[in-house]
Structure 1
Amino acid sequence: MFIIIMIIILAVGFGLQYIFGMFQIKNFTKHYTELRRNGKVAIGRKPAIFQSGTLVLLQINKKKEIEEARYMQGVTVFSRVKKLKGLEGLRIDKIIIEDVKSHNRLLRNAIMDAKRTYNIVQGGGEVEKIPSPFMKAASKVNQMFSKKEAK
């Protein structure tokens, strides 16, 4: 009986997480679409498990200047997109770490990732996928076992 109750609780939990995740994606899509209507948008990512995952949207004009910036940062599916102040007028290709010192470390990393992504796309390259924290952990476990088998 206990196992059945645990399975039901887990199923309800996964269902709620899926529903709230859909609301979060809808919120992100709404903000991305608003920014995209006005120009190019550079996206920076900094995924994490035990820290806040961070996502940055930077709207870029034809002069490569940031017109508007927004971010999503949080650990749960309840985080929403918020406006990010202090980047307006900066050229995305000229941003250095000192320009974003007033922001927290995760936000700084996401902003610098947006710069890197923008430069890759402008150069005609393709942006590589950032593996999720779970995928990084799984690959490390696989490497540990493959090393043991090789011996």
Structure 2
Amino acid sequence: MFYFTLMIFIGGAFLLQIFLGYFQIKHFSNVFVEMRRKGKVAIGRKKGHFKSGTIVFFTVDQDGNIVDARKMQGVTILARFHEMNEFLHENIQRLPEVKVKRCNKLLQKAIADSVHNYTVVANGGVIKESPRTPVAGASLMIKSLFQKARKSNNQG
């Protein structure tokens, strides 16, 4: 009975995560589309494996001046985008260091990533993506756990 209840609880938590994740992705898409209508969007990110992850969107005009700036930072699927008005009207390639230093370390790294991505694309380059997605990484981790469990069961 305990295992059945545990499985129901885990299944319910998984479904709730999928449900809430859908709304986070919808929010992400809506913000991106809204910002994209204003101009090019430079995206920066810093993954936080067990800390809060951070995503930064800078909408820039043809001269590289920031016309909209937003960040999403958090550990859970409840994180939402918030405005970063302190970066408005700054040039993305010449952000004042004093403004960047006021941000936390993860946000500073995401901002640096967005500046790097903007510079690479503006110079005709292509951003190299990591071949492993978070879902693929999680599935590899789960697969290895099952393989270890099988090995220990076969040996014991």
Shared fold, TM over 0.5 = yes
Amino acid at match of 2:64: K
Identity %: 37
Cα separation, partners in 2 of 1:125 and 1:111, compared to 1, 3 Å: same
Counterpart position of 1:19: 19
Amino acid at match of 2:86: G
Once superposed, which parts of structure 1, at least 4 consecutive aligned residues long, lie more than 6 Å away? Answer: none
Task: Decide which moves more: 116-125 or 12-21.
Answer: 116-125
Compute the displacement of 1:112 (Å): 0.6
| 3-state SS of paired residue (1:103) | coil
Q: Which runs of 5+ in 2 are unaligned?
A: 145-156
Structure with higher Rg: it is 2
Encode CA deviations 1:70-114: one digit per residue, 9 max, x unaligned: 110000001111111211122112236444111111111111100
TM-score by length of 2: 0.80
Counterpart position of 1:87: 87
Alignment of 1:1-151 (within 5 A): 1-95=1-95, 97-130=97-130, 135=137
Q: Write the distance in 2 (CA, Å) between the matches of 1:28 and 1:35.
A: 11
Q: Which runs of 5+ in 1 are unaligned?
A: 143-151
Q: CA RMSD in A?
A: 2.3
| 3-state SS of paired residue (1:76) | coil
| 3-state SS of paired residue (1:86) | helix
In the comparison of the two structures, how many residue pairs are matched?
A: 139
TM-score by length of 1: 0.82
